[in-house]
Structure 1
Amino acid sequence: MKSYLKLTILILIVTFTSCQDVVDIEVQTAPSRLVIEASLDWEKGTLGNEQTIKLSTSKPYFDTTKNLGVIGASVKVTNDSNGDEFIFTDQNNGNYITTEFVPIINQSYTLEVIYNEENYTATETLMSVVDNVELSQSREDGSDDEALEIKTSFNDPEAEENFYLLKFNERGDLFSTFINVKDEFINGNEVSIIYEKEDDKDSNTFVFEPGDVVDVEVLGISEAYYDFIGILIAQSEGVGLFGTTPVSLKGNCVNLTNPDNYANGYFRLTEVVKKTYTFK
């Protein structure tokens, strides 16, 4: 009988009270950078031909102006084996769209973005994902034996090294929860990942109740993206009492024209399973 791994993810938010004094804090500023959101996700059961890449520019943290998308850029993705080029058409709102992309598992692709006469590029491989994802509910495996939790289960392939990204989003929640998993210690076994929430009125977070609907995505990702998203998840959780100060996180998009003016964001290609679960 194969063993399985249980990972419990809790949303824990600590609230601190403070005085009402107003404190002016000078924060560091950085030059505006191109932000490339190039996530080409091939959902199982679809052609995967419709893909969108989003371009924008970074802005100061406390800047409340609307973050306008970048227009006028040139965006294409090339199949590194046969040279097929997929042109992403400018929609004049920061979105660049193609309806002709051809996804091929384990194929390497190169992204090219030309903006303000500077050439940005990145190379990534389209990774596969398992096709036996099952969702269920329980109250027994999380930290609170009275709270509902959702369990995502699948069998990890034994013959290969695999990296996964799981995304959980309850309908109505503003933010999603992400979990990155590698099969270093679970290779070839059944994997069971538990997602549970706790009540916190300050953050408008509540335990799951019957009738709640959760969208779940399981993505197959590269090792490089696993490392990148792991750091991003850790930074998004904030700096603890003994944590290190977050540093600028660079993706895989390189500026060939001016290396110091690198872009933020990441070019990834993944196969993804999407499922929805309604609590009973």
Structure 2
Amino acid sequence: MNTYFKLTILFLAMSLVSCEDVIDVEVQTAPSRLVIEASLDWEKGTTGSNQTIKLSESTPYFDTTTNTSVTNASVKVTNDDDGTEFIFAHQGNGEYVITNFEPVINQSYTLEVIHDGETYTANETLTSVVDIDNITQSIEDGFDDEELEVNIFFTDPEAEENYYLFKFQRRGDLLPVLEDGDDEFSNGREITWWYEEEEDEDTDEIEAFRPGDIIDISFFGISEAYSNYIGILIEQSEGTGLFSTTPVPLRGNCINTTTPDNYAFGYFRLTQVVKTSYTFQ
């Protein structure tokens, strides 16, 4: 009886192993595209003359290529009013830099990138940002009334529509968090913007803010067009819900004037930014 039982287990194990089939799944691929990271941010209190544009090439999701830098492009930005050209010099690593850029609020600029015989262009206007009036902490405004959140106070200008972008990054965290908004329901009034981190109940990792934590804050004034773009990008980065549409490649404002179908990823933006930090007490 004991021998019969052992043989039964052996045959059952063999049958289970023999039922394993290798399934080849065909993964969709897309052609490599130029990726243009052209965020020209003028930090308040500086001249804004030092700027960097990064160029790379997209790769398939499962590709293990680590060096995708574009090193043979020509990059320049032109002031559309007086025609002044700002030539960005390549540094050998996909970064193109300039040390004499001249930012002008409400001025329109045109980006031109020439790569592999094709020309990409984009146009954007430099958008200003108001000062931050005050930064505090509380446990009153967030989703969890037992956890700390940071509160940023600023006064929205009444004369025009305004669009804002916040970047929050706790020191020690790998990635920042982006949040966008506008003044549709608060035009001309003081706005309080709060941000909190919540406990991750699935992993038991402590993510909520604690006394002593330092959070770096960047506050941008952005154009309506960029607000529409970054809003979709933030939504896609947070994943899809039950009734969400499937994310698709997000196209920015960089147009290939040589071969329109071979468009680039990325965005050319010009913003003014306030940078500060806050230490939780």
Same fold (TM over 0.5): yes
Q: Post-superposition shift, 1:23?
A: 7.7
- 1:44 is aligned to 44
Q: Is the 8 A contact 2:36 2:267 kept in 1?
A: yes
Q: Post-superposition shift, 1:101?
A: 0.2
TM-score between both structures, scaled by the size of structure 1:
0.90
Aligned length: 260
CA distance in 2 between counterparts of 1:25 and 1:234 reads: 28
- 1:149 is aligned to 149
Structure 1 runs (4+) greater than 4 angstroms displaced: 22-25
CA distance in 2 between counterparts of 1:24 and 1:203 reads: 36
Distance 1:97 1:145, change over 3 A: same
- 2:187 is aligned to 187
Q: Is the 8 A contact 1:133 1:273 kept in 2?
A: no
Q: Post-superposition shift, 1:134?
A: 2.2
CA distance in 1 between counterparts of 2:68 and 2:264 reads: 16
Matching residue's letter, 2:183: D
Matches within 5 A, 1:55-66: 55-66=55-66
Q: Post-superposition shift, 1:205?
A: 5.5
- 1:209 is aligned to 210
What runs of 5+ residues in structure 1 fail to find an aligned partner?
1-21
- 1:114 is aligned to 114
- 1:269 is aligned to 270
CA offset digits 1:215-241 (Å, max 9, x no partner): 001100000000000000000011111
Q: Is the 8 A contact 1:163 1:181 kept in 2?
A: yes
Matches within 5 A, 1:91-102: 91-102=91-102
Q: Post-superposition shift, 1:94?
A: 0.3
**Relative contact order higher in (CA < 8 Å, ≥ 6 apart):** 1
For residue 230 of structure 2, give the secondary structure of its aligned residue in structure 1. helix
For residue 203 of structure 2, give the secondary structure of its aligned residue in structure 1. helix
Matching residue's letter, 2:261: D
Distance 1:101 1:210, change over 3 A: same
Matching residue's letter, 1:273: V
Q: Is the 8 A contact 1:76 1:111 kept in 2?
A: yes
RMSD between aligned residues: 1.6
CA distance in 2 between counterparts of 1:23 and 1:38 reads: 42
Identity %, equivalent residues = 64
Q: Post-superposition shift, 1:139?
A: 1.0
Q: Is the 8 A contact 1:219 1:271 kept in 2?
A: yes
TM-score between both structures, scaled by the size of structure 2:
0.89
CA offset digits 1:155-190 (Å, max 9, x no partner): 000111100001100011111111111111110011
Higher helix share: 2
Higher Cα Rg: structure 1 or 2?
Answer: 2
What runs of 5+ residues in structure 2 fail to find an aligned partner?
1-21
For residue 207 of structure 2, give the secondary structure of its aligned residue in structure 1. coil
Distance 1:247 1:152, change over 3 A: same
For residue 231 of structure 2, give the secondary structure of its aligned residue in structure 1. helix
For residue 230 of structure 1, give the secondary structure of its aligned residue in structure 2. helix
Which deviates more, 30-39 or 183-192?
183-192
Matching residue's letter, 1:196: E
